């Protein structure tokens, strides 16, 4: 019984000792022939181990965002819209208000429809069409 315990202990310790004994080269100093590097300043260390990763991250982020920045803001239906109103062609902001037309009652034709286009054409002055999306 006793010899059996000894064998077990040896079976466990043997390989461990063998591995540790074989690993002595790993505990060696760096070879004396290697040049001794200058000590690194904190600033250098920060630049190399902080600056380069951050720079890489910024570069990759810019590369990802560049196409959408170049294309400009994209209109997404359903999101709210805050851009300042724009006119192309003649603007009606400075124009004189013409009471007959601006009153907006009765005499106008045209069509307005929710979710689809509709047409009406009464025999009146102005016309046109409307749509929603």
Partner 1 sequence: MPAGEAFTPDQRRSIDKAVRAAQEASGYAFSVYVGVVHGEPRAFARGLHGRLSDPDNSVLVLVDPGGRALEIVTGAQVRRNLDDAEAALVALSMQQSFAAGDLAGGIASGVYQLGDHAHRPISLHTDPHA
The burial of 109, by beta-carbon neighbours within 10 Å (0-12 exposed, 13-18 middle, 19 or more buried), is given as middle
Give residues with Cβ within 8 angstroms of 84, minimum separation 6: none
Q: How far is the CB of 66 from partner 1 (least distance, A)?
A: 14
120 close to 111: Cβ distance less than 8 angstroms: yes
Binding part of the chain for partner 1, among 8-16, 18-26, 48-56, 115-123 by CB under 8 A, reads 115-123
Residue 91 binds partner 1, judged by CB under 8 A: yes
Q: Which two tokens stand for residue 39?
A: 């000590």
The correct pick among 4, 43, 97, 106 for binding partner 1 (CB under 8 A) is 97
- Shortest Å, Cβ 50 to partner 1: 32
Q: Which is nearer to partner 1, 59 or 125 (CB)?
A: 125
When binding is defined by CB under 8 A, the residue of 18, 46, 62, 119 that contacts partner 1 is 119
For residues 46 and 52, give the distance between their C-alpha atoms in angstroms, rounded to a whole number.
9
- Write out the residues near partner 1 by the rule CB under 8 A: 71-93, 95-98, 100-102, 104, 108-112, 117-121, 125-133
């Amino acid at each position: 019984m006793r010899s059996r315990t000894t064998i077990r202990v040896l079976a466990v310790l043997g390989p461990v000792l063998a591995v540790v004994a074989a690993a002595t080269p790993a505990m060696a100093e760096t070879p004396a022939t290697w040049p001794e590097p200058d000590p690194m300043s904190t600033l250098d260390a920060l630049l190399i181990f902080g600056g380069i990763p951050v720079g890489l991250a910024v570069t990759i982020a810019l590369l990802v965002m560049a196409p959408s920045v170049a294309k400009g803001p994209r209109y997404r239906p359903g999101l709210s819209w805050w851009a300042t109103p724009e006119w192309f062609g003649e603007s009606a902001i400075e124009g004189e208000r013409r009471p007959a037309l601006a009153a907006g009652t009765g005499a106008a034709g045209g069509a307005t429809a929710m979710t689809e286009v509709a047409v009406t054409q009464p025999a009146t002055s102005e016309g046109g069409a409307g749509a929603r999306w």
